[in-house]
Chains A and B, each alone.
Chain A
Amino acid sequence: MAGAAQTAAVSGMRLALELILFPGFAFCALAGMVLSWLDRKVTARVQWRVGPPLLQPVYDLVKLLGKETIVPRDAFVFLAAPLIGLAGVTLVGLLVGQATLRPDLQTWGDLIAVAYLLTMLPLGTIIGAAASRNPLASLGASREMKLVLAYELPFILALAVAVIKADYALSLGEILKVQWRDGIAASSLSGTLALLIAVLVTQAKLGLVPFDMAEAETEIMGGTTIEYSGAPLAVIKLTKMMLLFVMPALVATLFLGGLRLDAGAYGVGMGALKVLALAVVATLIRNTNPRVRIDQALRFFWGPVAVLGFVAVVCATLGY
Protein backbone atom coordinates (compact mmCIF):
# COMPACT_ATOMS: atom_id res chain seq x y z
CA MET A 1 0.00 0.00 0.00
CA ALA A 2 2.75 2.39 0.98
CA GLY A 3 4.50 1.66 -2.32
CA ALA A 4 1.40 2.48 -4.35
CA ALA A 5 0.88 5.74 -2.47
CA GLN A 6 4.51 6.64 -3.03
CA THR A 7 4.24 5.92 -6.75
CA ALA A 8 1.10 8.05 -6.97
CA ALA A 9 2.87 10.88 -5.11
CA VAL A 10 5.87 10.67 -7.41
CA SER A 11 3.77 10.67 -10.59
CA GLY A 12 1.68 13.52 -9.19
CA MET A 13 4.82 15.51 -8.46
CA ARG A 14 6.12 14.76 -11.94
CA LEU A 15 2.87 15.91 -13.52
CA ALA A 16 2.98 19.15 -11.49
CA LEU A 17 6.57 19.78 -12.58
CA GLU A 18 5.67 19.05 -16.20
CA LEU A 19 2.71 21.40 -15.99
CA ILE A 20 4.62 24.29 -14.44
CA LEU A 21 8.11 23.96 -15.93
CA PHE A 22 8.65 21.66 -18.90
CA PRO A 23 6.89 21.16 -21.33
CA GLY A 24 4.07 23.14 -19.71
CA PHE A 25 3.82 26.79 -18.70
CA ALA A 26 7.43 28.02 -18.37
CA PHE A 27 8.70 26.35 -21.52
CA CYS A 28 5.71 27.42 -23.64
CA ALA A 29 6.04 30.99 -22.31
CA LEU A 30 9.74 31.12 -23.16
CA ALA A 31 9.30 29.61 -26.64
CA GLY A 32 6.31 31.89 -27.24
CA MET A 33 8.31 34.99 -26.31
CA VAL A 34 11.09 34.03 -28.72
CA LEU A 35 8.57 33.36 -31.50
CA SER A 36 6.72 36.62 -30.85
CA TRP A 37 10.04 38.48 -31.12
CA LEU A 38 10.68 36.60 -34.38
CA ASP A 39 7.22 37.58 -35.58
CA ARG A 40 7.92 41.27 -34.98
CA LYS A 41 11.45 41.05 -36.38
CA VAL A 42 10.32 39.32 -39.59
CA THR A 43 7.50 41.88 -39.91
CA ALA A 44 10.09 44.66 -39.55
CA ARG A 45 12.34 43.09 -42.19
CA VAL A 46 9.39 42.70 -44.59
CA GLN A 47 8.76 46.43 -44.14
CA TRP A 48 12.48 47.22 -44.59
CA ARG A 49 12.89 48.21 -40.92
CA VAL A 50 15.33 47.07 -38.23
CA GLY A 51 12.80 45.84 -35.66
CA PRO A 52 12.82 45.43 -31.87
CA PRO A 53 15.58 43.81 -29.76
CA LEU A 54 15.40 40.19 -28.60
CA LEU A 55 14.28 41.09 -25.07
CA GLN A 56 11.37 43.23 -26.30
CA PRO A 57 8.63 40.71 -25.25
CA VAL A 58 10.18 40.65 -21.74
CA TYR A 59 10.19 44.46 -21.53
CA ASP A 60 6.58 44.57 -22.73
CA LEU A 61 5.38 42.09 -20.11
CA VAL A 62 7.43 43.44 -17.18
CA LYS A 63 6.33 46.97 -17.96
CA LEU A 64 2.67 45.97 -17.75
CA LEU A 65 3.21 44.44 -14.28
CA GLY A 66 4.16 47.88 -12.98
CA LYS A 67 1.15 49.65 -14.47
CA GLU A 68 -2.09 50.56 -12.80
CA THR A 69 -4.88 48.00 -13.30
CA ILE A 70 -8.18 49.69 -14.06
CA VAL A 71 -11.27 47.52 -13.56
CA PRO A 72 -14.95 47.97 -14.29
CA ARG A 73 -17.69 47.23 -11.73
CA ASP A 74 -18.01 43.45 -11.02
CA ALA A 75 -14.26 43.10 -11.51
CA PHE A 76 -14.11 39.39 -10.64
CA VAL A 77 -15.23 38.00 -14.01
CA PHE A 78 -13.21 40.67 -15.84
CA LEU A 79 -10.01 39.65 -14.01
CA ALA A 80 -10.65 35.89 -14.07
CA ALA A 81 -11.39 35.68 -17.81
CA PRO A 82 -7.75 36.04 -19.04
CA LEU A 83 -6.77 33.15 -16.72
CA ILE A 84 -9.27 30.81 -18.47
CA GLY A 85 -7.43 31.29 -21.76
CA LEU A 86 -4.00 30.99 -20.11
CA ALA A 87 -5.03 27.69 -18.48
CA GLY A 88 -6.36 26.29 -21.76
CA VAL A 89 -3.26 27.17 -23.78
CA THR A 90 -0.93 25.84 -21.03
CA LEU A 91 -2.78 22.51 -20.98
CA VAL A 92 -2.60 22.16 -24.77
CA GLY A 93 1.13 22.86 -24.58
CA LEU A 94 1.45 20.21 -21.86
CA LEU A 95 -0.48 17.57 -23.87
CA VAL A 96 1.50 18.17 -27.07
CA GLY A 97 4.76 18.19 -25.11
CA GLN A 98 3.91 14.96 -23.26
CA ALA A 99 3.03 13.20 -26.52
CA THR A 100 6.38 14.29 -27.97
CA LEU A 101 8.43 13.28 -24.92
CA ARG A 102 6.62 10.01 -24.22
CA PRO A 103 4.66 8.82 -27.29
CA ASP A 104 4.14 5.44 -25.62
CA LEU A 105 2.16 7.03 -22.78
CA GLN A 106 -1.30 5.47 -22.79
CA THR A 107 -3.77 8.28 -23.42
CA TRP A 108 -7.23 7.93 -24.89
CA GLY A 109 -8.49 10.81 -26.91
CA ASP A 110 -6.10 13.57 -25.84
CA LEU A 111 -6.65 14.99 -29.32
CA ILE A 112 -10.31 15.57 -28.40
CA ALA A 113 -9.16 17.29 -25.19
CA VAL A 114 -6.84 19.51 -27.28
CA ALA A 115 -9.70 20.50 -29.61
CA TYR A 116 -11.84 21.51 -26.61
CA LEU A 117 -9.03 23.21 -24.67
CA LEU A 118 -8.12 25.37 -27.67
CA THR A 119 -11.59 26.96 -27.55
CA MET A 120 -10.99 28.08 -23.94
CA LEU A 121 -8.95 31.06 -25.13
CA PRO A 122 -11.71 32.56 -27.32
CA LEU A 123 -14.18 31.65 -24.55
CA GLY A 124 -12.15 33.59 -21.96
CA THR A 125 -11.71 36.47 -24.42
CA ILE A 126 -15.46 36.67 -25.04
CA ILE A 127 -16.33 36.51 -21.32
CA GLY A 128 -13.73 39.16 -20.44
CA ALA A 129 -14.81 41.46 -23.25
CA ALA A 130 -18.47 41.14 -22.26
CA ALA A 131 -17.59 41.82 -18.60
CA SER A 132 -15.74 45.03 -19.52
CA ARG A 133 -19.02 46.79 -20.48
CA ASN A 134 -17.39 48.58 -23.38
CA PRO A 135 -19.45 48.81 -26.59
CA LEU A 136 -16.38 48.28 -28.78
CA ALA A 137 -15.38 45.27 -26.66
CA SER A 138 -18.83 43.73 -27.13
CA LEU A 139 -18.46 44.31 -30.86
CA GLY A 140 -15.13 42.47 -30.68
CA ALA A 141 -16.69 39.68 -28.61
CA SER A 142 -19.47 39.19 -31.15
CA ARG A 143 -16.90 38.97 -33.94
CA GLU A 144 -14.80 36.52 -31.92
CA MET A 145 -17.87 34.28 -31.46
CA LYS A 146 -18.58 34.25 -35.18
CA LEU A 147 -14.94 33.61 -35.97
CA VAL A 148 -14.88 30.57 -33.63
CA LEU A 149 -18.02 29.22 -35.33
CA ALA A 150 -16.35 29.82 -38.69
CA TYR A 151 -13.03 28.05 -38.14
CA GLU A 152 -14.04 25.18 -35.85
CA LEU A 153 -15.67 23.16 -38.67
CA PRO A 154 -12.60 23.08 -40.97
CA PHE A 155 -10.36 22.57 -37.92
CA ILE A 156 -12.27 19.45 -36.84
CA LEU A 157 -12.17 18.16 -40.44
CA ALA A 158 -8.39 18.65 -40.51
CA LEU A 159 -8.08 16.81 -37.18
CA ALA A 160 -10.25 14.01 -38.62
CA VAL A 161 -7.79 13.58 -41.49
CA ALA A 162 -4.92 13.23 -39.00
CA VAL A 163 -6.95 10.64 -37.07
CA ILE A 164 -7.90 8.62 -40.17
CA LYS A 165 -4.27 8.67 -41.38
CA ALA A 166 -3.20 7.20 -38.01
CA ASP A 167 -5.59 4.22 -38.29
CA TYR A 168 -8.31 5.95 -36.29
CA ALA A 169 -6.10 6.60 -33.25
CA LEU A 170 -7.29 9.52 -31.13
CA SER A 171 -4.06 10.01 -29.19
CA LEU A 172 -1.30 12.42 -30.20
CA GLY A 173 1.40 9.88 -29.29
CA GLU A 174 -0.15 7.26 -31.60
CA ILE A 175 -0.47 9.81 -34.44
CA LEU A 176 3.24 10.63 -34.02
CA LYS A 177 4.30 6.97 -33.98
CA VAL A 178 2.33 6.11 -37.13
CA GLN A 179 3.98 9.05 -38.91
CA TRP A 180 7.45 7.95 -37.79
CA ARG A 181 6.67 4.45 -39.13
CA ASP A 182 4.92 5.29 -42.44
CA GLY A 183 6.17 8.81 -43.27
CA ILE A 184 4.60 12.15 -42.36
CA ALA A 185 0.87 12.75 -42.92
CA ALA A 186 1.54 15.75 -45.18
CA SER A 187 3.28 13.51 -47.73
CA SER A 188 -0.12 12.22 -48.91
CA LEU A 189 -2.75 14.19 -50.84
CA SER A 190 -5.28 14.30 -48.00
CA GLY A 191 -2.52 15.19 -45.50
CA THR A 192 -1.35 18.10 -47.66
CA LEU A 193 -4.90 19.46 -47.91
CA ALA A 194 -5.38 19.06 -44.15
CA LEU A 195 -2.07 20.85 -43.47
CA LEU A 196 -3.17 23.74 -45.70
CA ILE A 197 -6.47 23.99 -43.78
CA ALA A 198 -4.63 23.76 -40.44
CA VAL A 199 -2.34 26.66 -41.47
CA LEU A 200 -5.37 28.83 -42.31
CA VAL A 201 -7.11 27.87 -39.04
CA THR A 202 -3.90 28.64 -37.12
CA GLN A 203 -4.01 32.14 -38.58
CA ALA A 204 -7.57 32.59 -37.32
CA LYS A 205 -6.90 31.00 -33.92
CA LEU A 206 -3.91 33.30 -33.39
CA GLY A 207 -6.06 36.28 -34.34
CA LEU A 208 -3.53 37.48 -36.91
CA VAL A 209 -4.32 39.46 -40.06
CA PRO A 210 -6.40 38.70 -42.18
CA PHE A 211 -8.52 37.30 -39.31
CA ASP A 212 -7.82 39.90 -36.60
CA MET A 213 -11.26 41.52 -36.83
CA ALA A 214 -11.99 40.79 -33.15
CA GLU A 215 -9.13 43.08 -32.10
CA ALA A 216 -8.62 45.33 -35.10
CA GLU A 217 -6.43 48.04 -33.50
CA THR A 218 -7.05 50.50 -36.30
CA GLU A 219 -10.80 49.92 -36.47
CA ILE A 220 -12.26 49.13 -33.04
CA MET A 221 -9.20 50.13 -30.97
CA GLY A 222 -8.23 46.72 -29.61
CA GLY A 223 -11.80 45.33 -29.50
CA THR A 224 -11.93 42.52 -26.97
CA THR A 225 -8.87 43.78 -25.04
CA ILE A 226 -9.79 47.47 -25.12
CA GLU A 227 -10.50 47.86 -21.36
CA TYR A 228 -7.62 45.73 -20.07
CA SER A 229 -4.58 47.38 -18.49
CA GLY A 230 -1.66 46.37 -16.28
CA ALA A 231 -1.24 42.76 -15.12
CA PRO A 232 -4.40 41.29 -16.77
CA LEU A 233 -3.23 42.72 -20.10
CA ALA A 234 0.17 41.10 -19.49
CA VAL A 235 -1.63 37.74 -19.01
CA ILE A 236 -3.54 38.23 -22.28
CA LYS A 237 -0.34 39.12 -24.16
CA LEU A 238 1.53 36.16 -22.64
CA THR A 239 -1.30 33.79 -23.64
CA LYS A 240 -1.13 35.07 -27.21
CA MET A 241 2.64 34.58 -27.26
CA MET A 242 2.28 31.03 -25.90
CA LEU A 243 -0.35 30.21 -28.53
CA LEU A 244 2.12 31.41 -31.19
CA PHE A 245 4.25 28.46 -30.11
CA VAL A 246 1.54 25.93 -29.18
CA MET A 247 -0.50 26.11 -32.41
CA PRO A 248 2.48 25.57 -34.78
CA ALA A 249 3.71 22.79 -32.45
CA LEU A 250 0.30 21.08 -32.64
CA VAL A 251 0.13 21.39 -36.44
CA ALA A 252 3.71 20.10 -36.76
CA THR A 253 2.83 17.14 -34.52
CA LEU A 254 -0.33 16.25 -36.44
CA PHE A 255 0.85 16.60 -40.02
CA LEU A 256 4.66 16.97 -40.17
CA GLY A 257 5.82 14.22 -37.83
CA GLY A 258 6.58 16.62 -34.97
CA LEU A 259 9.76 16.38 -32.95
CA ARG A 260 11.42 12.97 -32.76
CA LEU A 261 13.55 12.47 -29.64
CA ASP A 262 14.86 9.00 -30.53
CA ALA A 263 16.42 10.42 -33.72
CA GLY A 264 18.83 12.46 -31.58
CA ALA A 265 19.99 16.00 -32.40
CA TYR A 266 18.71 15.69 -35.99
CA GLY A 267 15.19 14.87 -34.78
CA VAL A 268 15.17 17.76 -32.29
CA GLY A 269 16.57 20.20 -34.86
CA MET A 270 14.06 19.19 -37.50
CA GLY A 271 11.22 19.42 -34.97
CA ALA A 272 12.25 22.94 -33.98
CA LEU A 273 12.62 23.89 -37.64
CA LYS A 274 9.05 22.73 -38.42
CA VAL A 275 7.59 24.89 -35.63
CA LEU A 276 9.75 27.83 -36.71
CA ALA A 277 8.70 27.45 -40.35
CA LEU A 278 4.99 27.33 -39.47
CA ALA A 279 5.33 30.43 -37.24
CA VAL A 280 7.15 32.34 -40.01
CA VAL A 281 4.46 31.30 -42.52
CA ALA A 282 1.84 32.80 -40.16
CA THR A 283 3.90 36.02 -39.96
CA LEU A 284 4.29 36.24 -43.74
CA ILE A 285 0.55 35.66 -44.30
CA ARG A 286 -0.27 38.47 -41.87
CA ASN A 287 2.16 40.83 -43.58
CA THR A 288 0.88 40.27 -47.10
CA ASN A 289 -2.88 40.34 -46.57
CA PRO A 290 -5.47 42.95 -45.61
CA ARG A 291 -8.02 42.35 -42.85
CA VAL A 292 -11.24 40.74 -44.10
CA ARG A 293 -14.71 41.45 -42.74
CA ILE A 294 -16.28 38.92 -40.39
CA ASP A 295 -18.89 37.84 -42.98
CA GLN A 296 -16.11 37.29 -45.52
CA ALA A 297 -14.21 35.15 -42.99
CA LEU A 298 -17.34 33.10 -42.26
CA ARG A 299 -18.03 32.58 -45.97
CA PHE A 300 -14.37 31.67 -46.54
CA PHE A 301 -14.19 29.03 -43.78
CA TRP A 302 -17.64 27.50 -44.34
CA GLY A 303 -17.29 27.68 -48.13
CA PRO A 304 -14.03 26.78 -49.90
CA VAL A 305 -12.10 25.70 -46.79
CA ALA A 306 -14.86 23.39 -45.46
CA VAL A 307 -15.34 21.86 -48.93
CA LEU A 308 -11.59 21.27 -49.09
CA GLY A 309 -11.84 19.68 -45.66
CA PHE A 310 -14.59 17.27 -46.73
CA VAL A 311 -12.57 16.37 -49.85
CA ALA A 312 -9.54 15.72 -47.63
CA VAL A 313 -11.56 13.48 -45.30
CA VAL A 314 -12.96 11.46 -48.25
CA CYS A 315 -9.45 11.16 -49.76
CA ALA A 316 -8.11 10.00 -46.39
CA THR A 317 -10.78 7.28 -46.02
CA LEU A 318 -10.00 6.09 -49.58
CA GLY A 319 -6.34 5.89 -48.62
CA TYR A 320 -4.91 8.78 -50.66
Chain B
Amino acid sequence: MGITLNALTRSLSVFHLAASPCNNCDIEILDCLTPKYDLERFGIQLIGSIRHADALLVTGSVNRKAAERLKLLYEQAPKPCVVIAIGGCACSGIMFRDNYNFAGPVDRLVPVDIYIPGCPPKPEAMIAGVAKLIAKVRGEKA
Protein backbone atom coordinates (compact mmCIF):
# COMPACT_ATOMS: atom_id res chain seq x y z
CA MET B 1 0.00 0.00 0.00
CA GLY B 2 1.35 3.42 -0.98
CA ILE B 3 2.00 6.32 1.36
CA THR B 4 -0.77 8.40 -0.18
CA LEU B 5 -3.34 5.61 0.20
CA ASN B 6 -2.25 5.10 3.81
CA ALA B 7 -2.74 8.83 4.42
CA LEU B 8 -6.14 8.65 2.69
CA THR B 9 -7.40 6.12 5.24
CA ARG B 10 -6.44 8.53 8.04
CA SER B 11 -7.98 11.60 6.46
CA LEU B 12 -11.32 10.81 4.79
CA SER B 13 -13.13 13.87 3.46
CA VAL B 14 -16.77 12.92 3.17
CA PHE B 15 -19.27 14.44 0.77
CA HIS B 16 -22.83 13.82 1.89
CA LEU B 17 -25.43 13.37 -0.83
CA ALA B 18 -29.03 13.28 0.36
CA ALA B 19 -30.72 11.47 -2.55
CA SER B 20 -34.39 11.85 -1.61
CA PRO B 21 -34.10 10.52 1.97
CA CYS B 22 -36.56 11.01 4.82
CA ASN B 23 -33.73 12.90 6.64
CA ASN B 24 -33.50 10.37 9.45
CA CYS B 25 -30.19 8.87 8.24
CA ASP B 26 -28.82 12.39 7.66
CA ILE B 27 -29.47 13.35 11.26
CA GLU B 28 -27.74 10.16 12.43
CA ILE B 29 -24.74 10.99 10.19
CA LEU B 30 -24.43 14.40 11.84
CA ASP B 31 -24.56 12.56 15.19
CA CYS B 32 -21.24 10.92 14.27
CA LEU B 33 -19.58 14.35 14.36
CA THR B 34 -20.97 15.34 17.78
CA PRO B 35 -18.81 15.27 20.95
CA LYS B 36 -20.03 11.78 21.89
CA TYR B 37 -18.65 10.10 18.75
CA ASP B 38 -16.29 12.78 17.32
CA LEU B 39 -15.22 11.26 14.00
CA GLU B 40 -12.62 14.04 13.53
CA ARG B 41 -10.46 11.94 15.90
CA PHE B 42 -9.86 9.71 12.86
CA GLY B 43 -9.47 12.61 10.45
CA ILE B 44 -12.98 12.22 9.03
CA GLN B 45 -14.57 15.52 8.01
CA LEU B 46 -17.65 16.59 6.11
CA ILE B 47 -16.73 18.89 3.20
CA GLY B 48 -18.78 21.09 0.88
CA SER B 49 -17.38 20.40 -2.59
CA ILE B 50 -17.29 17.00 -4.34
CA ARG B 51 -13.85 17.92 -5.76
CA HIS B 52 -12.41 17.75 -2.22
CA ALA B 53 -14.08 14.41 -1.43
CA ASP B 54 -12.58 10.98 -0.78
CA ALA B 55 -15.88 9.34 0.07
CA LEU B 56 -19.36 9.80 -1.37
CA LEU B 57 -21.98 9.13 1.27
CA VAL B 58 -25.43 8.41 -0.16
CA THR B 59 -28.65 8.27 1.82
CA GLY B 60 -32.22 7.81 0.67
CA SER B 61 -34.23 5.86 -1.87
CA VAL B 62 -32.70 7.39 -4.98
CA ASN B 63 -35.54 8.69 -7.17
CA ARG B 64 -35.33 9.44 -10.89
CA LYS B 65 -34.47 13.10 -10.37
CA ALA B 66 -31.71 12.35 -7.83
CA ALA B 67 -30.30 9.45 -9.93
CA GLU B 68 -28.89 11.85 -12.57
CA ARG B 69 -27.23 13.92 -9.82
CA LEU B 70 -25.78 10.85 -8.15
CA LYS B 71 -24.15 9.64 -11.39
CA LEU B 72 -22.86 13.14 -12.15
CA LEU B 73 -21.39 13.53 -8.66
CA TYR B 74 -19.66 10.15 -8.88
CA GLU B 75 -18.06 11.18 -12.18
CA GLN B 76 -17.02 14.56 -10.74
CA ALA B 77 -15.29 13.06 -7.69
CA PRO B 78 -11.48 12.83 -7.96
CA LYS B 79 -10.38 9.17 -7.76
CA PRO B 80 -9.63 7.20 -5.60
CA CYS B 81 -13.10 7.75 -4.14
CA VAL B 82 -15.23 5.27 -2.22
CA VAL B 83 -19.03 5.13 -2.16
CA ILE B 84 -20.88 4.41 1.07
CA ALA B 85 -24.59 3.53 0.98
CA ILE B 86 -26.24 4.43 4.29
CA GLY B 87 -29.65 3.19 5.40
CA GLY B 88 -32.08 0.55 4.16
CA CYS B 89 -33.31 2.75 1.28
CA ALA B 90 -29.83 3.33 -0.20
CA CYS B 91 -28.86 -0.33 0.28
CA SER B 92 -31.97 -2.03 -1.12
CA GLY B 93 -34.88 0.37 -1.51
CA ILE B 94 -36.94 -1.56 1.09
CA MET B 95 -40.61 -0.57 0.93
CA PHE B 96 -40.02 2.03 -1.83
CA ARG B 97 -38.58 -0.46 -4.31
CA ASP B 98 -41.82 -0.82 -6.30
CA ASN B 99 -42.48 2.91 -6.34
CA TYR B 100 -43.06 4.53 -9.77
CA ASN B 101 -40.26 7.09 -9.32
CA PHE B 102 -37.72 4.74 -7.71
CA ALA B 103 -34.41 4.63 -9.64
CA GLY B 104 -32.18 3.03 -7.01
CA PRO B 105 -30.86 1.29 -5.03
CA VAL B 106 -27.50 3.08 -5.15
CA ASP B 107 -25.54 0.07 -6.49
CA ARG B 108 -27.67 0.02 -9.64
CA LEU B 109 -26.31 3.48 -10.49
CA VAL B 110 -22.73 3.64 -9.13
CA PRO B 111 -20.38 0.99 -7.64
CA VAL B 112 -20.85 0.80 -3.86
CA ASP B 113 -17.92 -0.09 -1.57
CA ILE B 114 -19.81 -0.63 1.65
CA TYR B 115 -23.44 -1.01 2.71
CA ILE B 116 -24.60 0.15 6.13
CA PRO B 117 -28.23 -0.99 6.56
CA GLY B 118 -30.66 0.18 9.22
CA CYS B 119 -33.61 2.52 9.39
CA PRO B 120 -31.72 4.60 10.35
CA PRO B 121 -28.42 2.88 11.25
CA LYS B 122 -27.09 3.94 14.65
CA PRO B 123 -23.95 6.11 14.71
CA GLU B 124 -22.10 3.10 16.16
CA ALA B 125 -23.11 1.03 13.14
CA MET B 126 -21.85 3.75 10.79
CA ILE B 127 -18.52 3.99 12.60
CA ALA B 128 -18.19 0.18 12.50
CA GLY B 129 -18.95 0.28 8.78
CA VAL B 130 -16.39 2.98 8.08
CA ALA B 131 -13.80 1.05 10.14
CA LYS B 132 -14.47 -2.04 7.98
CA LEU B 133 -14.17 0.07 4.84
CA ILE B 134 -10.83 1.50 5.95
CA ALA B 135 -9.57 -2.01 6.75
CA LYS B 136 -10.68 -3.10 3.26
CA VAL B 137 -8.83 -0.18 1.60
CA ARG B 138 -5.72 -0.95 3.65
CA GLY B 139 -5.95 -4.61 2.64
CA GLU B 140 -6.37 -5.85 6.23
CA LYS B 141 -8.93 -8.20 7.75
CA ALA B 142 -11.63 -6.29 9.59
Interface residues of A (CB under 8 A from B): 40, 44, 47-53, 55-56, 58-60, 62-63, 65-70, 217-218, 220-222, 225-230, 233
Question: Do residues A227 and B51 form an inter-chain contact, with CB atoms below 8 A?
Answer: yes
Name the contact of B40 in the complex, choosing from A51, A59, A222 (C-beta under 8 A).
Answer: A51
Contact of A50 among B11, B38, B48, B79 (CB under 8 A): B38
A-B interface, 4 closest residue pairs, ranked by CB to CB distance from nearest = A66-B4, A221-B48, A62-B7, A68-B78
Q: Which of B5, B41, B47, B48 contacts A51 (CB 8 A)?
A: B41
**Inter-chain contact count A-B, CB under 8 Å?**
88
A63 adjacent to B4 (CB under 8 Å): yes
A-B contact pairs, 16 of them (CB 8 A): A49-B35, A50-B41, A52-B43, A58-B7, A60-B11, A63-B4, A66-B3, A66-B80, A67-B79, A69-B78, A220-B48, A222-B51, A225-B49, A227-B49, A228-B51, A233-B51
Asked if B51 contacts A59 (CB within 8 A), the reply is no
Of the listed residues B3, B11, B54, B79, the one surrounded by the most CB atoms of chain A closer than 10 A to its CB is: B11
Q: Which residues of B contact A59 (CB under 8 A)?
A: 7, 10-11, 43
Partner among B38, B40, B49 whose Cβ is within 8 Å of the Cβ of A226:
B49
Query: Is residue B2 contacting chain A, with contact meaning CB distance below 8 A?
Result: yes
Q: With A and B bound together, what is the CA distance between A59 and B4 in angstroms?
A: 8
Residues of chain B from 42 to 98 with CB closer than 8 A to chain A in the complex: 43, 47-49, 51-52, 54, 76, 78-80
Q: For the complex formed, measure the closest distance between the CB of B43 and the CB atoms of chain A, giving whole angstroms.
A: 6
A44-B38, A66-B8, A221-B48 known; 4 other A-B pairs, CB under 8 Å? A49-B38, A66-B3, A222-B47, A233-B52
For the complex, give the distance between the alpha carbons of A286 and B29 in Å.
Answer: 24
The answer to whether A56 and B4 touch across the interface, beta carbons within 8 angstroms, is no
| Interface of B: prevailing SS | loop
Q: Which residues of B contact A62 (CB under 8 A)?
A: 3-4, 7
Point out the residues of chain B lying under 8 angstroms from A60, CB to CB: 7, 11, 43
A-contact 0/1 string along B20-43, CB 8 Å cutoff: 000000000000000100101101
A268 CB to nearest B CB, Å: 32
B6 shortest CB reach to chain A, Å: 8
Residues of A within 8 A of B11 (CB): 56, 59-60, 63
Report A-chain residues with C-beta under 8 Å of the C-beta of B38. Answer: 44, 49-51
In the complex, the chain B residue whose C-beta lies closest to that of A226 is B49
Closest CB of chain A to B61's CB: distance in Å?
24
Q: Which residue of A lies closest to B40 (CB)?
A: A52
CA of A302 to CA of B80, assembled, Å: 46
Q: Are B7 and A217 in contact (CB under 8 A)?
A: no
A222:B49 contact, CB within 8 angstroms: yes
Most chain A CB within 10 A, of B2, B3, B10, B54, is at: B10
Cβ–Cβ < 8 Å partners of B76 in chain A: 70
Closest beta carbon of chain A to B127's beta carbon, Å: 14
Give the shortest distance, in Å, between B14 (CB) and chain A (any CB).
13
Interfacial chain A residues near B40, Cβ < 8 Å: 40, 44, 49-52
A190 to B106, CA, bound (A): 62
Contact of B54 among A55, A63, A217 (CB under 8 A): A63
Within the complex, the shortest CB–CB distance from A8 to chain B, in Å, comes to 40
How far does the Cβ of A53 sit from chain B's closest Cβ, in whole Å? 8
Cβ A70 vs Cβ B51 within 8 A: yes
Contact of A230 with B78 in the complex, beta carbons under 8 Å:
yes
